[in-house]
Amino acid sequence: MTYTATIRQRGQLTIPDQVREMLGWLQTGAVVGIEADKDEVRIKPKIISRKQTDWDKIWRTIKLTRSFKSQGGDIPASQFIIEDRQRH
């Protein structure tokens, strides 16, 4: 089936409701890939791979950072930073 839409001043194109409903992946916030040649434009779903977050590594790094002592060795570095920020 063919649908008609108008490209607006800033290049914006509203995809008709019927097309969006027919294509379940074409929803608000969807990331799409656009392929174009001289006579045709194709819109396809774009799969974005999300890198897995290694929370164990993050927490190990936080614990390590919190374990550092100030140069005098009397207070943790994090406490030194807090006090230093309050002085400025």
Residue range 80-86: mean pLDDT, rounded? 82
Residue range 34-58: mean pLDDT, rounded? 87
CB atoms under 10 Å from CB of 70, counted, come to 15
The two tokens of residue 33 are: 């890939």
DSSP lists the bridge partners of residue 34 as 43
Residue range 74-78: mean pLDDT, rounded? 74
The two tokens of residue 68 are: 């550092």
For 43, list phi and psi in degrees, rounded to 5: -110, 125
- Higher pLDDT pick, 82 / 72: 82
Could you state, in order of their start, the residue ranges of all structural domains in the chain? Answer: 1-50, 55-87
**Top-level CATH class of 1-50?**
mainly beta
Residue range 15-35: mean pLDDT, rounded? 89
CB atoms under 10 Å from CB of 71, counted, come to 7
Report yes or no: 1 and 7 within 8 Å, Cβ to Cβ: no
Q: How confident is the model at residue 71 (pLDDT cuts 50, 70, 90)?
A: low
Q: Which pLDDT belongs to residue 72?
A: 64
